[in-house]
Chain A
Amino acid sequence: MAERILMKGNEAIAEAAIRAGCRHFFGYPITPQTEVSAYLAKRMPKVGGCFLQAESEVAAINMVLGAAAAGVRVMTSSSSPGISLKSEGISYIIGSDLPCVILNIQRGGPGLGGIQPSQADYNQATKAPGHGDAHVMVFAPSTVQEMVTCIFDMFDLSEQYRVPAMLLGDGLLGQMMEPVEFPDVKVTPAEKPWASNGHQNKREHNVVNSLYLQPDQLEAKNIERFERYAQIQANETRAEAFETEDCDVLVVAYGASSRIARSAVMNARAQGLKVGLLRPITLWPFPQKELLEASKTAKDILVVEMSMGQMVDDVKLALECSKPVHFFGHTGGIIPTPAEVLEQLKTIAGGAAK
Chain B
Amino acid sequence: MTTVYEKSKMLTDAPMSYCPGCTHGIIHKLVAESISELGVEGRTVGVAPVGCSVMAYNFFACDMVQAPHGRAPAVATGLARALPEGVIFTYQGDGDLAAIGTAETVHAASRGENIVIIFVNNAIYGMTGGQMAPTTLPGQVTQTSPYGRDVKTAGYPIRICEMLATLDGTAYAERVSVNTVPNIRKAKKAIKKAFENQIAGRGFSIVEVLSTCPTNWGLTPVEALKWLEENMTPYYPLGVYKDITAEEGK
Contacts and interface: CB of A to CB of B under 8 A. Distances in A.
A66 interface: yes
Contacts of B85: 198
A24 B64 contact: no
A24 B66 contact: no
A210 B66 contact: yes
B100 to A, nearest CB: 10
A52 B42 CA distance: 27
Interface stretch (A69-77, A137-145, A274-282, A286-294): A69-77
Nearest to A203: B63
Nearest to B55: A211
Contacts of B48: 209
Contacts of B42: 198-202
B68 interface: yes
A65 B65 contact: yes
B92 to A, nearest CB: 13
Contacts of A60: 74
B84 to A, nearest CB: 9
A135 to B, nearest CB: 19
Contacts of B44: 198
Given A62-B68, A92-B68, A198 B63 contact: yes
Given A62-B67, A198-B63, A69 B75 contact: yes
A252 interface: no
B104 A26 contact: no
B103 interface: yes
A63 interface: yes
B61 interface: yes
Contacts of B41: 199, 201
Given A50-B81, A55-B104, A66-B82, A207 B66 contact: yes
B57 interface: yes
B238 to A, nearest CB: 30
B67 A74 contact: no
A70 B68 contact: no
B233 to A, nearest CB: 32
B137 interface: no
Nearest to A51: B81
Given A62-B71, A66-B74, A199 B65 contact: no
B204 to A, nearest CB: 14
A260 interface: no
Contact of B78 (A56, A66, A210, A211): A66
A112 B147 CA distance: 40
Contacts of A71: 82
B161 interface: no
Given A59-B74, A59-B107, A207-B57, A67 B79 contact: yes
A319 interface: no
Nearest to A68: B78
Interface string A287-312: 00000000000000000000000000
B81 A63 contact: yes
B78 A62 contact: yes
B75 A197 contact: no
B71 A59 contact: yes
Contacts of B66: 96, 207-211
Contact of B83 (A62, A63, A70): A70
Contacts of A205: 12, 60-64
Contacts of A202: 42
A89 interface: yes
B203 to A, nearest CB: 15
Contacts of A198: 42-45, 62-63, 83, 85-87
Nearest to B48: A209
Indicate the member of A63, A88, A89, A199 with the most B CB atoms within 10 Å. Answer: A63
Interface of A: 24, 26, 50, 52, 54-56, 58-60, 62-72, 74, 88-89, 92, 96, 195-202, 205-211
21 contacts: A24-B82, A54-B107, A55-B103, A55-B107, A59-B107, A62-B67, A64-B78, A65-B74, A66-B76, A69-B45, A69-B78, A70-B83, A89-B68, A92-B68, A195-B63, A196-B79, A198-B85, A201-B41, A202-B42, A205-B61, A207-B66
By Cβ-Cβ distance, the 9 closest A-B pairs, closest first, are A66-B78, A62-B74, A196-B63, A70-B82, A63-B78, A67-B78, A198-B43, A66-B75, A62-B71
